[in-house]
Structure 1
Amino acid sequence: MSATTTIAQVNPRQRRSPRSSHITRLLPTPLLAVVNTLLCVVVLGPVLYMVLASINSDVSVAAGEFWPRELRLDNYIKVWSSVDLGTGLANSLLICGAVALVCAAVSLSMAWVLVRFTFIGRITILRGLVGLQSVPGTLMLLPVFVVFSTMSAALRIPTIGTHWAVFVTYLTFALPFSTWVLVTYIRGLPRELEDAARMDGAGNIRILTRIVLPLSWPGIVVSAIFAFLQGWNDVLFASVMTNSTSRTAAVALQTFGATQETGALPLYGQMMTASLICAAPVVVLYLVFQRYLVGGLTAGGVK
């Protein structure tokens, strides 16, 4: 009798349909497909319009035509002479690339110290990393400009308009968030690996470079990409801290768009072409490091 009862209790679980083992979705499958389609249209619609406008004539774009009547690929050639994109892209890649590398290295060291060591002020620093994210960058524009101007007058060296001034500005604003991302990631790493290495005689530098660094690549990539994008998309600080020789691609694109407002017929095709060229490095960056982004962004979400 007990065996029959046991079988009767076990069989319903064994006969359970495979569909019930799946996670219940928030929306039914047809409605989920409709929502995903609408989201793709909203996101990819402007990008498709930019691509079509870049190969269309300015008159057709001004008339509101969506599909081009004739292909105008010459916009991709003329834009390099109309906009100083070459210098702008080179400056952006140099400054933002350096910010991403230095920010990732410094953030990894800071995050590891904040997670693995206990010292006075540790909790205050962690809270400060979160609190600094609430300060708008617009409010910091004038203080940053005054600091660099005062430094230039005191040290008698040029600061405004130099690459290193923009580099220091971007690095200052990118470090808090990048450090917090790596703090949440390193918290999920097993401490036993570091303890085993320390028992074998490894020092802190060796543990950081040989154990923590290889295991933290997803978090490092996320912090580096965030630092890169913060500088790449910035126009506010770059328009104040740069000059004609150090201006970034975003400032060059903004300047070109501002000059078109006074013309009889704006160069819509070249404006869209310049926008696509400036967005291409970011798209390539996401495609290359896509597999690291998912693991880095979800770090700390599951305990």
Structure 2
Amino acid sequence: MTVRESAPTRGAAGPAPRPGGRGTATSGRGTVTRLLPAPLRVLVLGVLLVVVLAPVLYMLFASVSSDLSVAEGAFLPTSLDLGNYLRIWSTVELGRGLVNSLLVAGAVAAVCAFVALGSAYVLVRYAFRGRLAILRGLLALQSIPGTLMLLPVFVLFASAAQLLGVPVIGTRWALFVTYLTFALPFSTWVMVTYLRGLPPELDEAARVDGASAWQVLTRVILPLSWPGLVVAGIFALLLGWNDVLFASVLTNPDSRTAAVALQVFGATQEGGAIPVYGQMMAAALVCAAPVVVLYLVFQRYLISGLTAGGVK
């Protein structure tokens, strides 16, 4: 007597197929594929952490060490010297440099983000002759090295000062205009990519309710565009914060930024018996701290803003 196994009826609940293959895991949102096995993944992450954190740890240890121990090549501090963080405010003149950097880079970030939003809104929502040429021109501007623009910018500002009778070189306005010019193309492209992910039906619904183009931009598009604005603003801020080339040419001791102050301080220590390594590392950490804090605060917006438009 043979017993036949009855075929499962259609629609009957059975065991779900297990996602095959090594390195797959299921979660509430779907299947996550892991390219590397767990031991190799831990090894790779450990190597990357060492490569990234080793210079930062060295700066941190050197900033609380004596100059002699750093000059001897010691990695770990033999004795803590927190006075380096107090002496830099008089030795490096870091306070004035930080204020100038915050004013210039912060103004560039704010103005660049909102100007890029308006420009991107027009380029995405309106069709007109020359639209593609403008987009391609913005992309082409990214391929021009900033070093080639140093002399033309200097000559342009010098000529404008002679024509208007107003000093331009040596002021914060010179840096503001320069950084804004170089940051706008990239920020506009970031906002163009982000606004393409917003459905145009939002604009149509607002216009049906009687909103003007300005009201659509400020009351509908602007509240939804904060991730893109944060990305555009932070990249513009980094351009002004980290720049040394233009800031060293277009500033004087009163308008000098923090990056230039560090460069001047490092140059004055060359040729000495024992350079003040501790103060140099402490000043570098103080200058890097605002940017790190900014990234940590806006990390959520950065991730969503950078990945916007990647999935349609």
| Structure 2 unpaired stretches of 5+ | none
1:95 aligns with 2:97: no
C-alpha distance in 1 between matches for 2:264 and 2:9: 78
1:234 aligns with 2:236: no
User: Which residue does 2:93 correspond to in 1?
Assistant: 84
Matches within 5 A, 1:138-177: 138-177=147-186
1:219 aligns with 2:228: yes
The equivalent position to 2:212 in structure 1, one of 203, 212, 215, is: 203
Matches within 5 A, 1:1-303: 4=7, 7=10, 11=14, 14-16=16-18, 21=26, 22-303=31-312
| Structure 1 unpaired stretches of 5+ | none
Amino acid at match of 2:278: G
Give how far 1:11 is off. Answer: 3.8
RMSD of aligned alpha carbons = 1.8
Amino acid at match of 1:110: S
SS in 2 for 1:4: coil
Q: After superposition, what is the alpha-carbon deviation per residue over 1:68-105, rounded to whole angstroms, capped at 9, x for unaligned?
A: 11100111111111101010000000000000000011
Q: After superposition, what is the alpha-carbon deviation per residue over 1:44-90, rounded to whole angstroms, capped at 9, x for unaligned?
A: 11000000000000000000011111100111111111101010000
Amino acid at match of 2:223: P
C-alpha distance in 2 between matches for 1:47 and 1:192: 48
C-alpha distance in 2 between matches for 1:17 and 1:269: 55
Shift in CA distance, 8/17, structure 1 to aligned 2, threshold 3 Å: farther
Give how far 1:284 is off. Answer: 0.9
Give how far 1:262 is off. Answer: 2.2
Higher helix share: 1
Give how far 1:171 is off. Answer: 0.2
Amino acid at match of 2:18: R
Q: After superposition, what is the alpha-carbon deviation per residue over 1:233-259, rounded to whole angstroms, capped at 9, x for unaligned?
A: 000000000001000000000000000
C-alpha distance in 1 between matches for 2:47 and 2:66: 29
Amino acid at match of 1:56: S
Q: After superposition, what is the alpha-carbon deviation per residue over 1:165-187, rounded to whole angstroms, capped at 9, x for unaligned?
A: 11000000000000000000000
Amino acid at match of 1:16: R
SS in 2 for 1:244: coil
Shift in CA distance, 8/218, structure 1 to aligned 2, threshold 3 Å: closer
Amino acid at match of 1:44: L
Give how far 1:135 is off. Answer: 0.5
C-alpha distance in 2 between matches for 1:127 and 1:64: 51
Shift in CA distance, 8/157, structure 1 to aligned 2, threshold 3 Å: closer
SS in 2 for 1:266: coil
Give how far 1:130 is off. Answer: 1.1
Amino acid at match of 2:98: L
